[in-house]
Amino acid sequence: MNVARFNFSHQDRKYHEQLLGTLREVLSETKRVCATLCETHGPEIRTGAVRDGKDIALEKGQKLILSPDYNTVCVDVRCGWLVVGVR
Helix (H), strand (E) counts: the chain: 2, 4
- pLDDT number for residue 76: 53
Contacts of residue 59, Cβ cutoff 8 Å, sequence gap at least 6: none
Other residues' Cβ atoms within 10 Å of the Cβ of residue 47: 15
The whole-angstrom separation of Cα 11 and Cα 40 is 12
| DSSP secondary structure letter of residue 82 | H
Note if the pTM is more than 0.75: no
Segments making up each domain of the chain, as ranges: 3-39, 50-80
- pLDDT number for residue 42: 63
What does the pLDDT profile of the chain (87 residues) look like in tens digits? 899 999 887 788 899 999 999 999 999 999 999 999 998 876 666 665 566 766 667 778 877 666 666 666 555 555 555 555 555
